[in-house]
Amino acid sequence: MAQVVVTGGGGFIGSHLIGALLTRGDEVTVIDLCEDIPWRLSHLSGRGNLRYVAADVRDRQKCEEAIPGSCSKIFHLAAVVGVRNYCSDPLETIDTNIGGLRTILGAALLRGSKIIFASTSEVYGKNSKVPLGEDSDRVLGPTSIDRWSYGSSKAICEHMLFATHRKHSLPMVIVRLFNAYGPRQKPIFAIPAMIDEVVNGRGPRVYDSGEQTRCFTFADDVIEGILRASERPLAEGQAFNIGSSQEITMASLARKVIDVGGKSGELEPRFVDTKGIYRSYEDPSRRVPGVSRAKEVLGWAAKTSLDTGLRKTFEFVRMEIDQERG
């Protein structure tokens, strides 16, 4: 039994990770902004090995008090996420992401805790030379484009971690997540937004041409990748792409969501120009992870097909709707 901390544990990935950690018997301290235990953790709230602390990850004093002295691992997930959020408030995005890691680095150094940092495919920017290996170049747009504030802040965090690892021998590993999806994800992200529209009888929105491609990774696979990265000694001091290799255009994704949702012939994708939504925006044309390092070092590869993951996510959404209706 290990004592571990999960920052941002009330979020989508955090809630799935905490469930896995509790199941294997770890003592889990969750640090999250919400004053009360978040809805995503309500099904876990009765577990004796779960402790919840409401705190801003930038608050050094509260975090120092919350993190046990014998904490062996800190899973640092707390961040501003979602394109809408970091386009609408890039200053908060930068401050939260970098300031939060600064707090966690200080706590980890004092305790000798290992940091498992949730980074993102956004660090690659608009590099379209796929598949993207962990050492691929970062190709970012101009600093006047708010969209790049998130990827840039996460990249700075990675620089901080690599530098601290080299200078102070801090144990750490970085996982770059590629378009995670699944139950309990808010509809500000692509797949849950499309599902929400389909279950409400609307054609799912697709931005611009819809020819841009992504690789979507089901939550169960993401958690397995994170846990393996946290456990394998050879993973220490490295970054890993955690993503599916199943590439799909956004237009095709919308049609697949319609099909899995049982609405083929009834609904069609709705194409929307991003210029009418975001004041400054760019979208990478392709984003496909190279996962050879994860396969070799972690023995990990995504197992869940997009069709299977979509069906499971639809089932969860419909179950929630049934519960709300009573």
The pLDDT of residue 248 is above 90: yes
Strands 50-54 and 73-76: unpaired
- This prediction has a pTM of 0.96
Residues 86-136 have pLDDT tens digits of: 889 999 999 999 999 999 999 999 999 999 999 999 999 999 999 999 999
Q: Which domains does the chain have, with CATH numbers?
A: 3-178+218-243+289-303 (3.40.50.720)
DSSP secondary structure, 272-319, as one string: E-GGGT-SS----S---B--HHIIIII-------HHHHHHHHHHHHHH
Banded pLDDT at 45 (limits 50, 70, 90): confident
Catalytic residue positions? 150
* Confidence (pLDDT) at 77: 99
* Confidence (pLDDT) at 321: 84
The pLDDT of residue 273 is above 70: yes
Banded pLDDT at 146 (limits 50, 70, 90): very high
Residue partners of 158: CB distance under 8 A and separation at least 6: 117, 119, 123, 174, 239
* Confidence (pLDDT) at 63: 98
By CB atoms closer than 10 A (0-12, 13-18, 19+), residue 324 is exposed
